[in-house]
Chain A
Amino acid sequence: MQGQSNYEIRFTLLASTLVLALAGCATTSSPTVGGGNVSYGDSKAVETVTTDLGSTDIQMISEKMTQSLIQHPLIQDLIRKRQLLMASPVKNKTSEYFDTRLITDTILTQLQKSGVRYAIEGEDMQNQVDELRRQNQSGLYDKGKSVKMGRMQGAKYRIDGSISSIVKKNVDIKDVYYKMNLRLVEIETGIVEWSDEKDIRKSARR
């Protein structure tokens, strides 16, 4: 009886050691967790899954607009004078749903890397106002170490635009043409100081 129990304990220990060793081998072969059905890809790769607006289109549009804007003397002047830019929402006139802020946010982020300063707009304003009120009106903060109300700065220029699409299809092929327009408007005068467009054609056999 005693011998059989010892045998069982030894067998359990051996089995546990084997399981641990195998588990160790599995984790040291590659630093991943999961069954292998999910993998990471190149976020800059050309995406051709469908003709819908995709990551490559957004990236190409943003890049083209940033490159075009940065060449404009007005933007270089804006950087020198530390004036402010803002982005109004881009109108989505296509038949698809996507968040157009992806485009304007990317453009603003890329411009900022070259020294452009931008002010927040509509959707972000509520958070800004909430924080200003919290620091000034809640009575929770040390007045000497709180930000002051009434010191926000307005932008001199704003970016706005639209994206449209034309979809054609027959039994064999679906063809989609996208056109993105972007404009730089001087807010005080309403004058359009710069505009550019980027068009993309995507076709798929059905």
Chain B
Amino acid sequence: MYSKRRITVAALSLIVLSTLSVAAPASGLISSKVELTTSNDNVQVTDLRAVQSDRLLRVQAELTNFSPYNQQVYYRFKWLDKNGFTVWDDEPWKPMIVYGSQRQIINVSPPSLFATDFRLVLHSSQR
């Protein structure tokens, strides 16, 4: 399902910052924040960062296409509060093309100030 080798090789980090405190990057947390709906090894989440600043969460995910061909992916975020409850309706799926052997950055903030946690749901078709 998830290529551990690639995850290890890639710079995996989840940095949770607040305006006052900075936490060290914690490896291996990507799998806990990413939900894959398909088993396409070509596109992987290779970096994931989250910053809580001025009441608002900011998330940056890096998708890497390990194949030489363009890959069509669909993604959306689930926004959760500190207790794990969803604070927002289902987001629309968003289409994105990750070009062959390229990286693509997703930069988002939740539409709600009550979100303190997230899950990235990624759907990519095997090609």
What's the nearest-Cβ distance from chain A to residue B58, in Å? 8
Q: How many A-B residue pairs have CB under 8 A?
A: 51
**In the complex, per-residue mask of A50-79: 1 if CB is within 8 Å of any chain B CB, else 0:** 000001100110010011001101001001
> Considering the complex, which residues of chain B in the window 54-69 have a beta carbon less than 8 Å from any beta carbon of chain A?
54-56, 58
Asked if A113 is at the interface (CB within 8 A of a chain B CB), the reply is: yes
- C-alpha gap A63/B74 in the complex (Å): 15
Residues of B within 8 A of A45 (CB): 92-93
A163 to B95, CA, bound (A): 20
Given A44-B76, A46-B74, A114-B114; A67-B93 close (CB under 8 Å): no
List, in ascending order, chain B residues with CB within 8 A of A46's CB. Answer: 74, 92-95
Are B90 and A44 in contact, CB atoms less than 8 angstroms apart?
A: yes
Q: Does A110 contact B (CB under 8 A)?
A: yes
Chain A residues whose C-beta falls within 8 Å of the C-beta of B113 in the assembled complex: 70, 76, 79, 114-115
Beta-carbon contact of A114 and B76 below 8 Å? no
Complex CA distance for A97 and B73, rounded to whole angstroms: 29
CA separation between A45 and B93, bound complex, in Å?
A: 6
Q: Are B94 and A60 in contact (CB under 8 A)?
A: yes
Tell me the nearest residue of chain A to B94, going by C-beta. A60
Interface status of B91 (Cβ within 8 A of chain A): yes
Contact B91 A44 (CB under 8 A): yes
**Bound CA–CA A73/B53 (angstroms):** 12
- 27 A-B residue pairs with CB within 8 Å: A44-B90, A44-B92, A45-B93, A46-B92, A46-B93, A46-B95, A56-B92, A56-B93, A56-B95, A60-B94, A63-B91, A67-B108, A67-B109, A70-B56, A70-B109, A70-B110, A70-B111, A70-B112, A76-B54, A79-B113, A110-B111, A113-B88, A113-B111, A113-B112, A114-B111, A114-B112, A114-B113
B interface list, Cβ under 8 A from A: 54-56, 58, 74, 76, 88, 90-95, 108-114
